[in-house]
Structure 1
């Protein structure tokens, strides 16, 4: 009973994490299925140019082409396969705009895209410019292949446009396009996203009867369909069947563990996680991260710490991502002592500071009401210029929750010191919380100080002035200068605020 209660609390504190991980893994697998196998792979000697291109993420369009032209001016040859390998690697790390620009550059240099390359480009257009642009590119192709049709089908799935995807599939059947594993996988994914998981088992049987081999992603979708239909027994049978005929990917075991945990079947979840550990590639970090997160969800501290030690012994050096996942897991099971220990270990060994990790520690202290410890970290990181927007929000919201509005306002005043690298403005939700407090407490001086702070942060707007006016009205006070201040600040207010201003001006 105690374990069940603790597990429920752990799920409440970070209930979206495992579902998000599973979804991202499924997406990554789908993308891998869509990709045409690389010829020659990604040669390590190509890394310097890749690093220069990848750093252009978020830069204005044209920067990738300029970098590539500069590279060619040095008379360094580039093959089409090498460029496509760069594209796939950029896509893998979600630098889709850079990847698409690289393909555009490739075409502008006279390269003719083969069907696999067109399918790759179609997927990138969908991610960067949307499904309509992807459709336009697809229909502009003079010769459409099975690969480009499958890619468009996958795009419809990603954009949750099941009806259009199924309509496309019917056209493909009329055109006698012979389906393959990828096409069936995309079709089953569409059914899942259309909320029609009951159609997936029959599609799988059709696929098998056609002599088309299934892969791990196929079984992943099939098992997921049974899980969606709350038929764990059928999902277990599929997994047992797969175990007899082919190696099982670790992700199928973690998917089962995730669903066992949803039903509080902790014993079965642990068995599934042990099987995942047996078959996973120890060099694949994602598998370790899944194990850590799922053991945390099951509140299995012993196994969680064992996996952490195994991870550390497997890799020469732990990355920031490893520490982040582990600290989030320890936070989930409320193990403050271990959290402090591993955080200190990271602080003494990190090569690149990651404020996300520090924020986990700060959040843990704030959750425990350990304000002095949390503030000590904030002051230290602020002096080093490491804070980020989440740091500001955590402290501001913590103090607002404690009704310590003075301390929350002090955090906003410190925002510029905390975020020296870029401009920061509070969210509409956070601003509204401050304004609501000042209006309800009739605190005119407080709202004036708040708006002065917003002005220094360069985000004083009409909503803030309206909140100020409402506070004056609630306090039964007038201030004829507010209208002039609004005009001087170049802020346009609506009719409702204008009427309120008349009352505050004493007219």
Structure 2
């Protein structure tokens, strides 16, 4: 099946989906109109989230939905609004979460707690940047700048990698640290680690000791990460000995896995595998067993221990329900060891499960491999099969195909795949006009300057590798020279 056939299949399926959505929306709307407000309190507020949730476009306002909810005479509860803000933030919908935060205080006049103010501060940073966050912070009355708000401002400085500003905030946090919590030290040490400021990190640890602040597992994790980043194997080993003998820290699977990854990455396989074995002994004790199995698969595959990977996989399947994420982790682990045949068998195993939804991230693992090896027929066949199974190809699906075709100068095929890839890319910087111009030039006509501008956009957006971008520009340049 060629790319044109794939595109037609996608178009027809999207038309059917739109038709079904229209009727389901009408049914939902009529149900809402006829519905009385005798619905249980919790369900009513969950319904508000269900109305907000489908508005995926961050440029679209959710205020009309909120106002409509109030006009229908429905309850608006501040605790429920906080839960919705938290949920929107969890899914990275920062602009909508911030809009709801403002609506909560400006339209419903709910008083803001320290947690509300701190949460809004972080949302402003994520939506509008550090300068706007600082402006908001400076306008907060002194009496409301409690521990939570100061910590959230420190978080913003850490995310923005502003060491000096973060350090200036620390004395205020020292004054407010009535319960001797290690969290402000952890945040600034994480910043020092990101900026490779090892001397400052060590000085911060000494300051903690002088202030009588006890470590927690995050303190230990940040130090481990710093030693790994600095490629300090002896430091990792010394710290793990200290952690295991520390009276206030009980090492969990996350601590051991971080250290194991560090040892494996730095070539100390024997030590890394020793810690990995120790993680196996913690699997039954941890509440996050699924994550523990995923970590074990990753660690053994990084160490090239194929037999152990399959052993953990069989243990995983007999102990837990394996969902799509589990299959992704197992296939990724096998591909890390270039076990394509094994990954294909796991894919077939996943396909045979009728209880799991079709997730295109799973065939994408094989599609990427096929494309790298030039097995285009297998890649296209897998895409077609996925579409027939009601799966939705992703940006990665088409990107892999376009990238591979460009590597072998099959430009017409690459252009078809590129159209599909860009259509799914969520960047607001990509212009349809420049995309069209670039594609037209790939096909032998168009404006060279516009095509060059589009390629610069691809570079800035990190959509294609440097090699592929240069290949595209070279091809366009040759077309231009031939026409001239």
Tell me, yes or no, whether TM beats 0.5. yes
Task: Give the TM-score normalised by the residue count of structure 2.
Answer: 0.72
Counterpart pick for 1:390 among 384, 390, 396: 396
SS at match of 1:461: helix
Residue in 1 that maps onto 2:278: 275
Q: Cα gap change, 1:336/1:176 in structure 2, threshold over 3 Å: closer, same or farther? A: closer
Residue in 2 that maps onto 1:107: 105
Taking the TM superposition and a 5 Å limit, the aligned residue runs for 1:10-409 are 49-63=48-62, 65-72=63-70, 77-108=75-106, 109-143=108-142, 144-170=145-171, 180-244=181-245, 245=247, 246-279=249-282, 281-283=286-288, 285-316=290-321, 318-349=322-353, 351-381=356-386, 386-403=392-409, 405=410, 408-409=411-412
Q: Following the alignment from structure 1 to structure 2, what is the Cα–Cα distance between the partners of residues 243 and 468?
A: 59
Q: Cα gap change, 1:282/1:195 in structure 2, threshold over 3 Å: closer, same or farther? A: same
Q: Cα gap change, 1:283/1:72 in structure 2, threshold over 3 Å: closer, same or farther? A: farther
SS at match of 1:346: helix
CA contact (8 A) 2:256 2:275 kept: yes
Taking the TM superposition and a 5 Å limit, the aligned residue runs for 1:425-504 are 450-451=443-444, 461-463=450-452, 470-471=477-478, 474-475=481-482, 504=484
Task: Give 1:369 deviation, angstroms.
Answer: 4.0
Task: Give 1:122 deviation, angstroms.
Answer: 1.2
Q: Following the alignment from structure 2 to structure 1, what is the Cα–Cα distance between the partners of residues 268 and 476?
A: 56
Q: Following the alignment from structure 1 to structure 2, what is the Cα–Cα distance between the partners of residues 247 and 44?
A: 40
Q: Cα gap change, 1:294/1:95 in structure 2, threshold over 3 Å: closer, same or farther? A: farther
Residue in 2 that maps onto 1:482: none
Q: Following the alignment from structure 2 to structure 1, what is the Cα–Cα distance between the partners of residues 55 and 292?
A: 29
Q: Cα gap change, 1:472/1:349 in structure 2, threshold over 3 Å: closer, same or farther? A: closer
Task: Give 1:340 deviation, angstroms.
Answer: 0.9
Task: Give 1:344 deviation, angstroms.
Answer: 1.5
CA contact (8 A) 1:388 1:419 kept: no
CA contact (8 A) 1:451 1:460 kept: no
Q: Following the alignment from structure 2 to structure 1, what is the Cα–Cα distance between the partners of residues 241 and 475?
A: 65
Q: Following the alignment from structure 1 to structure 2, what is the Cα–Cα distance between the partners of residues 218 and 470?
A: 54
- Give the CA RMSD over aligned residues: 3.9
Residue in 2 that maps onto 1:24: none
SS at match of 1:410: helix
SS at match of 1:349: coil
Give the gaps of 5 or more residues in structure 2: 1-41, 455-472
Task: Give 1:171 deviation, angstroms.
Answer: 5.9
CA deviation string 1:187-226 (max 9, x = no partner):
2122223321233233223323423332211111122233
Aligned length: 412
Residue in 2 that maps onto 1:37: none
Q: Following the alignment from structure 1 to structure 2, what is the Cα–Cα distance between the partners of residues 113 and 462?
A: 51
Q: Cα gap change, 1:463/1:198 in structure 2, threshold over 3 Å: closer, same or farther? A: closer
Range moving further from structure 2, 337-346 or 411-420: 411-420
Q: Cα gap change, 1:70/1:236 in structure 2, threshold over 3 Å: closer, same or farther? A: farther
Task: Give 1:131 deviation, angstroms.
Answer: 0.9
SS at match of 1:409: helix
Task: Give the TM-score normalised by the residue count of structure 1.
Answer: 0.69
Task: Give 1:265 deviation, angstroms.
Answer: 1.5
Q: Cα gap change, 1:373/1:147 in structure 2, threshold over 3 Å: closer, same or farther? A: same
Task: Give 1:329 deviation, angstroms.
Answer: 1.6
CA deviation string 1:394-448 (max 9, x = no partner):
2233233234x2xx413423666789878999x99xx99xx9xxxxxxxxxx986
SS at match of 1:295: helix
